Amino acid sequence: MQRPIANLGEFLVAPVLFCGPCNKSPNVEIRGTLKAHTDLSAFKDATWLEFKDLSSLNITRAGTDNGIRVKTWPGSPPSKASNLTFEDIIMTNVKNPIIIDQEYCLRGEGSKTKPSQVKISDVLFKNIRGTATTKSEVTLVCSSSMAYENVVLANIDLKYIFPDGPATSTCANVKGISKTGMENPQPCS
SS3 for 133?
coil
Instruction: Read off the pLDDT band of 30 (50, 70, 90).
Output: low
Could you report the per-residue pLDDT of 146-171, keeping only the tens digit for each?
A: 888 889 999 999 999 998 878 889 98
Q: Domain boundary residue among 14, 32, 61?
A: 61
pLDDT value at 53 more than 80? no
Q: Domain boundary residue among 10, 33, 61?
A: 61
Q: Give me the long-range contacts of 165-170 (CB less than 8 A, separation at least 24).
A: 165/135, 166/135, 167/132, 167/135, 167/136, 167/137, 168/135, 168/136, 168/137, 169/136, 169/137, 169/138, 169/139, 169/140, 170/136, 170/138, 170/139, 170/140, 170/141
Q: How many helices (H) and strands (E) does the chain have?
A: 0, 15
Instruction: Read off the pLDDT band of 101 (50, 70, 90).
Output: confident
How many domains does the chain contain in total? 2
pLDDT at 1: 44
Cis peptide before 97, with omega less than 30 degrees from 0? no
Same domain, 95 and 15: no
pTM more than 0.85: no
Same domain, 53 and 80: no
Same domain, 52 and 67: no
Same domain, 35 and 90: no
Could you report the per-residue pLDDT of 54-90, keeping only the tens digit for each?
A: 655 566 666 678 888 887 877 777 888 888 888 888 8
Higher pLDDT among residues 53 and 67, named by residue: 67
Q: What does the alpha-carbon distance between residue 55 and residue 69 come to, in Å, rounded to a whole number?
A: 22
Q: Measured between alpha carbons, how far apart are the two ends of the chain, in Å?
A: 39
pLDDT value at 177 more than 70? yes
Find, among 121, 63, 57, the residue nearest to 89 by Cα: 57
Residue 70: which domain range? Answer: 63-189
Task: Give me the phi and psi of 129, to 5 degrees please.
Answer: -145, 165
| Average pLDDT rounded to a whole number, residues 16-30 | 70
Could you report the per-residue pLDDT of 107-147, keeping only the tens digit for each?
A: 655 566 788 888 888 889 999 999 999 988 999 988 888 88
Same domain, 53 and 145: no
pLDDT at 61: 61
pLDDT at 176: 78
Q: Where are the beta strands (DSSP E) in 46-117?
A: 49-52, 58-62, 66-71, 79-94, 96-101
